[in-house]
Amino acid sequence: MIITRRRTLTLLSAGALAACAAEMDSDNTTTLAATPPETEGPFFPENTSVESDVDLTRLAGRGERAAGQVIEVRGRVLGSNGQPIAGARVQLWQANAAGRYAHTADAGNSAPLDPNFQGYAAIESGADGTFRFTTIKPGGYLVAAEGPRTPHLHWKIAANGRELTTQSYFPDEPANDTDFLIRAMQTDPRVLIARAGVSGAEGVPGYDWDVVLMT
């Protein structure tokens, strides 16, 4: 599929491509700017063998759902040529609604743990590069000596021998303007801000964010 300039502008309006410039190659195809990396942080799950299905709001054997605003996060994994990447390994991890990770490195955080929140998921992208998760909108939290962190999701995406670790953010969050990691970015941070989209399957808020891997 060759992506026209009009199609490129449509992609730019969705998630990670919101502020990327598309460059036209000599053969008149489009090269999309790669999604920039972000730090993995200290809270990558200590045990990825635990439950990791696409609904982070429910744990097997528990009747109660995780606390907080349920949301749907979806997007596509694309190559720099705009082609979808099938079978990419997409890992998601995050803080709970109170802004705490289920991780020993976050033991000093006074916010409560949520025993009903999965906190981590891993799937493969579909034939059209798509992925979709049901989760909780994470809370922000304070990093000592650095300042507050805005609500965000952590991602590790691997395909074709390449791996990208990055983060995504939510639109219209006041703390986006002061988050120290966003301010330190060398590229336009809007590429990592998801787009508020149509409601999810349960009528919950939906967020769309495409990620572009170098190919």
The question of whether 103 is a catalytic residue gets the answer no
The question of whether 207 is a catalytic residue gets the answer no
From the list 74, 152, 190, 195, the catalytic residue is: 152
The question of whether 169 is a catalytic residue gets the answer no
The residue ranking higher by pLDDT, 6 or 85, is 85
Phi and psi dihedrals of 147, rounded to 5? Answer: 115, -175
Mean pLDDT computed over 159-178: 96
From the list 74, 76, 101, 120, the catalytic residue is: 101
Q: In the prediction, which pLDDT does 45 show?
A: 96
Work out the percent of the chain whose per-residue pLDDT is above 70.
87
Q: In the prediction, which pLDDT does 212 show?
A: 97
From the list 76, 100, 154, 195, the catalytic residue is: 154
pLDDT tens for each residue of 84-104: 999 999 999 999 999 999 999
From the list 141, 169, 195, 207, the catalytic residue is: 141
Q: Residue 145 — very low, low, confident or very high, per pLDDT cuts 50/70/90? A: confident
Residue 183 predicted with pLDDT over 60:
yes
The question of whether 149 is a catalytic residue gets the answer yes
Q: Residue 6 — very low, low, confident or very high, per pLDDT cuts 50/70/90? A: very low
Mean of per-residue pLDDT scores for the chain? 88
User: Could you tell me the domains of the chain?
Assistant: 5-213 (2.60.130.10)
The residue ranking higher by pLDDT, 213 or 186, is 213
Q: Residue 9 — very low, low, confident or very high, per pLDDT cuts 50/70/90? A: very low
Q: In the prediction, which pLDDT does 27 show?
A: 52
Mean pLDDT computed over 113-128: 97
The question of whether 154 is a catalytic residue gets the answer yes
Rounded Cα–Cα distance for residues 113 and 147 (Å): 21
Q: In the prediction, which pLDDT does 100 show?
A: 98
From the list 74, 76, 100, 149, the catalytic residue is: 149
